[in-house]
Amino acid sequence: MRIAMLSDTHTQFEGLTVPPCDLLISAGDYSHRGEKESVIRYHRWLHKQPADLVLSVQGNHEVWVQDNWDDAKALVDELSDKIHFVRESSLQYGGRRIFGSAFSPEFNNWAYSLQRGKPSIEHWKAIPSDTEILVTHGPPYGILDKVREDTRVPLGCEALRKRIKDLKRLKLHVFGHIHGGSGEKLVDGVLYVNAAICNEQYRPVNPVRVVDID
């Protein structure tokens, strides 16, 4: 299965090149504040990409989407029959369990905020134990989650990192949110991909990332 991945385009996606793939994953923050016009424009673009299936997970910038979920989902469903528009759900594709979630640790008054500690621990129990591809907007603690590589402050979710240790079939974890962590890292047999397109200055400098899973 060929998978293309992107996140955190913040409306700057039309110059990107997406290669032909089985699955295209978008891990959120495609807008400034999830404006209706941004939802339509972005998902119209996603529909045109050379992918058999598109998974569009929301991010903390998608405030209008959080506040108007039914309207937003109806818009996307009308635009495309190949896009799965997700705030949090599980699906099967290509014989693999995929789980997507928009939630990340709380930060100011943005969307899909999750309180650290016990609330996060309870929340991530919803990830099915047989998940092979995990898509969350935010990173797990300590993996591609720093604003700069030389900073000492990881910003990822501790509870998510702990839950991942229990996912024995997990092969790929895709996320974004922390622009400075954009990249790929293999840890204990799991490929972690921070697919952020924009850097910390909100410039779209990073590529669409591609991986093949047997």
Single pTM value for the model: 0.97
Distance CA 39, CA 41 (A): 6
What's the pLDDT tens digit per position in 164-207? 999 999 999 999 999 999 999 999 999 999 999 999 999 999 99
Number of domains in the chain: 1
**pLDDT band at 149, cuts 50/70/90?**
confident
Q: What is the mean pLDDT of the chain?
A: 97
Asked if 183 and 146 touch (Cβ cutoff 8 Å), the reply is no
CATH number at residue 167: 3.60.21.10
**pLDDT band at 108, cuts 50/70/90?**
confident
DSSP per position, 10-51: TT--TT-----EEEEEE-S--SSS--HHHHHHHHHHHHHSSE
What's the pLDDT tens digit per position in 41-88? 999 999 999 999 999 999 999 999 999 999 999 999 999 999 999 999
Provide the residue range defining the domain that includes 85: 2-212
